[in-house]
Structure 1
Amino acid sequence: MAATAHFLTPSLTQLTLLAKEQEIGSGTGFFVKHGTQWFIVSNWHVFSGRNPRTGQPRHSSCAIPDECIAVKREMRDHRLVVIKHKLKLLDENENPLWLDHPEHGQNVDIAALKVNQNTVGIARNILSVDGHQEDMFVDLGGDLFIPGYPQGYSEQGSFPIWKKATLATSPEFDPLPINPLIVDTASREGMSGSPCLAICNDSYYRKVDGGPKMELIHKPICWKLLGVYSGRLTAKDALDTQLGRVWRTALIIDIISGCQCARPKLI
């Protein structure tokens, strides 16, 4: 796991949400690329600052984020340098610059913000076909990883914390992309927007022609992005079920390929 985790770590960024220059929250994002366009993917509720079920502001002051600070990493003189970028979330008319799902809108808790190459640094595309193996079989109860920034915590000031999870519902039992997967993990604020990953450093199994037979594929440093983690099902206290939602990768593809920007729907 360690080799692939180190390989993917530059692809994650902590997100600090700002409203009129004041910090109002934090989350996690990760870099993906569609064609020549780069995006930071996170949750709808992170970029909008609203509850996706009610449309109401999540912050106690009702402030809505208009900017965020993202982190990129570069190599300079054989040293790793961490650089912070301030990115606009709203235009001059307070319309969102991020994209939501072209059909389901806020009912899918994913959003993607277009960024230019200068914001990416040495990040790798988590959806790159060189590493992301869509056909990797992940069994019910299989090990997963959700790297992010719980309660804003990071390693050495910018590196994510790699938290473990297990797959609690099977994609095979519920193949509809609109229905989120459920994972068993102990998460905290700041993890919203994290990628949910199955990781392999040497080999993985895949189904043969969609049937019950499996074959072993040897490939170093590979992974499968299952989707975007959006927080726990319930969060009343620390003894809750510790189950979380993961919105599936197919929905990310819908957003970054459809490129339809929508104003948050106020309910």
Structure 2
Amino acid sequence: MSTQEPATPPDMIAAPGSALTLRLEIPTMKSLFIEMRFQETVLSSGTAFLVANDQSSHCALITNRHNVTGRHQETGVCLSKNGAIPDNVLIYFHKEPLHLGEWQCIRLPLFKDDGQPWWIEHPRLGALADLVALNLKWGSDVHKLPYYLKSNLDRVDMAIRPAEPISVIGFPFGLSSTGRFPIWATGFMAQELGIVTPDNPTFLIDCRTRQGQSGSPVIAYRVNGFTKFENDRVSTSIAAGSAAWEFLGIYSGRVNPDSDLGRVWHVSAVEEVFAAAEVAMPKKTD
């Protein structure tokens, strides 16, 4: 898949300092602001993030399917008021070197020359799953900060129960905290994760989320310690002053406009889509 660097948007200003001087949490750096566009017209905004198995593996972009199709996931109704469907997406990556606090704006086409989509859908559930992956050819000008699926950097085997806090880290109404850094919306687990199944790999959260947060990573974030599963038992890990988080999945929207209940596609579904993206990625030849 090719990428193109567009002209710098006028509101894409550098953050006033580096990630270190601003004391940003690592998950803050992982959520990416995206704009869905038809040619040069912005239709909507949302959130995306990168995933990889580990620090040496392939890396892909993950977002909601309805973001790239421009259609309601269940009804198929066009989401844009002017009836347009996106044909490209603008992604705001962190620019190298990271300490400058700047963004690299990349335009990614959504369709091939033959009209087929570039995105990769869930290998079993297909269009029924509201998440997709996009493969990119990475250059040295982009700093990649993925969620790692196969390491304890983002998955510490944290025990998550109903009514415990979770955070949706994205861009409600296209808003940012500063620059293109996301906003943390925090709510609660609304069910047990143990009842998630392969045929329905979703769970519910109770969180005041809004449009623009579609595609956001959902994590459980704890400071000073957390409970974890160990040898089929729950134990407590205490580390004063340190933070830990568990990557839980991708937020895809509220169950209806009158409710704060939101649907999250479980990390297991993200793993399956990422595996399909790895297979679809052209292999390097000697």
Q: 1:216 aligns with which of 236, 246, 250?
A: 236
Q: 1:150 aligns with which of 154, 158, 172?
A: 172
Does 2:270 align with 1:252?
yes
TM-score, normalised to structure 1, is 0.86
**Deviation digits for residues 125-144 of structure 1 (CA, Å, limit 9, x no counterpart):** 21251412252101110001
Q: 2:52 aligns with which of 27, 30, 33?
A: 33
Distance 2:118 2:193 in 1: 32
Distance 1:4 1:123 in 2: 19
Does 2:181 align with 1:181?
no
- How many percent of aligned residue pairs carry the same amino acid? 25
Amino acid at match of 2:236: L
Distance 1:77 1:188 in 2: 29
CA gap 1:120/1:42 in 2 versus in 1, 3 angstroms: farther
Q: 1:113 aligns with which of 130, 134, 149?
A: 134
Q: Structure 2 regions of 5+ residues with no counterpart? A: 1-21, 281-286
Distance 2:99 2:139 in 1: 19
2:222 maps to what in 1?
Answer: 200
- Flag the structure with more relative contact order, 1 or 2, with Cα contacts below 8 A and sequence separation at least 6: 1
Amino acid at match of 1:108: A
1:57-206 equivalent positions in 2, closer than 5 A: 57-76=78-97, 78-118=99-139, 121-127=142-148, 129-133=151-155, 135-172=157-194, 174-177=195-198, 178-206=200-228
Distance 2:140 2:62 in 1: 13
Distance 1:36 1:132 in 2: 15
CA gap 1:38/1:120 in 2 versus in 1, 3 angstroms: farther
State the SS of the aligned residue for 1:98. Answer: coil
Report the RMSD for the aligned CA atoms in angstroms. 2.3
State the SS of the aligned residue for 1:250. Answer: helix
Distance 1:108 1:66 in 2: 20
Moved more, 184-193 or 57-66: 57-66
TM-score, normalised to structure 2, is 0.81
CA gap 1:120/1:55 in 2 versus in 1, 3 angstroms: farther
Cα deviation for residue 122 of structure 1 reads 3.0
Q: Structure 1 regions of 5+ residues with no counterpart? A: 262-267
When the two structures are aligned, how many residues end up with a matched partner?
252
1:184, 1:242 within 8 Å by CA — same for their partners in 2? yes
Amino acid at match of 1:114: N
CA gap 1:127/1:231 in 2 versus in 1, 3 angstroms: same
